[in-house]
Chains A and B, each alone.
Chain A
Amino acid sequence: MAELNQDSGGGKKGGKVRSKKNGGRVDLTAMVDLAFLLITFFMLTTSLNTPQAMDVAMPDKNKDLNEQQPDIDIADNRSITLLLGSDNKLVWYYGQLAKPITAPTVTDYSAEGLRKLLIEKKAQVPKVAGGKDLIVVIRPSDRSVQRNLVDVLDEMKIVDVKRFTISKIKAEEIAVLESNGVYNN
């Protein structure tokens, strides 16, 4: 099995008649290496095939008060609001939109943009708010895409922000996105 009879070749050399060698074995090492590599590959890909699930919990909706639901009051110096706009950009502000502590600023979803901001605010907020932690309000606009929302939720997990909520964007916030040029189709 797995042996090949090879002609030792050469024929007559120096008058001597070489006896035929009883063929060398084929080296199977490389083949086995390759086979195991492929096995590893397929094993990993099949087990990774089960999809990952990012759990999302939304607040309970009170249908009777729908639309006129009053905003829940939260301390200005605890909350930052992220407005998700188009072109993979977002606008954030600290405090209330009418009298923001930090005025609306455009940033992106990269580690230098959003994550840096969140880490900074997460450290800063307990100092100014008497030990209470940061609240992040996420407001996706109709022109943001699913990737943006997943990116933001992922950042919440990475930075370990305990309190965050997804809520509906307001007309005046859409105006902010428009004035910052991140509400394009």
Chain B
Amino acid sequence: MAKAKVKRASTVIDMTAMCDVAFLLLTFFVLTATARQPETLEVDTPASTVKEKLVGDNIGMITVGNEGKIFFGLKDPAIRRETLKNISAKYKVNFSEEEYEQFAASEDFGVPIRTLRQLLSLPKDQRKVEVQPGIPVDSTENESNELYHWVQQARLATVKINRDRENEQRDFVNPGPMQVAIKADAEEKYAVMNLIIETLRNQKQNKFSFITGLRAE
């Protein structure tokens, strides 16, 4: 006599599709994560428990590290170009169209204005931290305090560019004045920090942010 067969449902699920999706996502995240450009001057920021993030493109970033080397960077390429135009007029240094292009494409820099052209003539991968001595800063408001003028001209450029955009594009929302962020190495001496803070205060930029790392607490 034939036995009654009990049909068993298979417990094995085909994971192939799931595996495909997982790896597709994985590839995506790996690629987007590594696409970030490495900074010229690498600093190890101090940790804090603040949760506020630095958002938007409206940021001027002052990086301090390597025993007081100061770098300056702007996020928005259009504002970079406008800033250089202002600085060029201020310090009477002329830049070629190509140099403007180069400057608009570079994340940050740390050279005195007199040697900026030299820096821009180098290919991107040679603009290492070793060839950049940092932007000169002191306690005055004269031309010798180049950081003062970079920040000031960047602020003016931000206002101008944003106003132009507001006039051209109907749906453009003006993000307001430039935010200043200071990204300093944890071991950086306060003497240098004080010069930077006073430079900002001298132009009534009394608000700024310190960039910090995350501290688990």
* 30 CB < 8 A contacts A-B: A28-B15, A39-B26, A42-B29, A42-B30, A45-B33, A46-B32, A49-B33, A51-B54, A52-B53, A53-B181, A54-B48, A54-B52, A54-B209, A56-B209, A58-B201, A60-B201, A60-B206, A61-B206, A141-B190, A142-B191, A145-B188, A145-B189, A146-B46, A146-B185, A146-B186, A146-B187, A147-B46, A148-B190, A150-B48, A157-B50
Across the interface, which residues of B come within 8 angstroms of A166, CB to CB? 197
How near does chain B come to A30, taking the closest CB pair, in angstroms?
10
A145-B188, A147-B187 known; A60 and B204 CB under 8 Å?
A: yes
In whole angstroms, how far apart are the Cα atoms of A25 and B14 in the complex?
Answer: 9
Secondary structure class of chain B's binding surface, majority of residues: mixed
Any B CB within 8 A of the CB of A13 = no
Instruction: Choose, from B16-24, B89-97, B114-122, B127-135, the stretch at the interface.
Output: B16-24
Partner of A142, one of B190, B206, B209, B210: B190
Count of A-B contacts judged by CB separation below 8 Å? 156
Instruction: Name B142-201 residues within 8 Å CB distance of A.
Output: 181, 183-191, 193-194, 197, 200-201
Bound CA span A144–B190, Å = 6
Query: How far apart are B211's CB and chain A's nearest CB, in angstroms?
Result: 5
Determine if A21 is an interface residue (Cβ-Cβ < 8 Å): no
Size class of B's contact patch? 35 or more
Residue of B nearest to A166 (CB): B197
**Which residues in B have some Cβ–Cβ distance to A below 8 Å?**
12, 15-16, 18-19, 22-23, 25-26, 29-30, 32-33, 36, 45-55, 64, 181, 183-191, 193-194, 197, 200-202, 204, 206-215
- Whether A50 pairs with B212 at a CB distance below 8 angstroms is no
**Chain A residues in 8 Å Cβ range of B25:** 35, 39
Identify which of A46, A53, A61 gathers the most chain B CB atoms within 10 Å of its CB. A53
Distance in angstroms from A162 CB to nearest chain B CB is 16
B26 touches A50 (CB 8 A): no
In the bound assembly, the distance between CA atoms of A116 and B210 in angstroms comes to 25
Chain A residues with CB under 8 A of B32: 46
A34 — nearest CB in chain B belongs to which residue? Answer: B22
Complex: chain A residue closest to B55, CB-CB? A50
In the assembled complex, which residues on chain B have CB atoms less than 8 Å from the CB atom of A51?
45, 53-54, 181, 183, 211-212
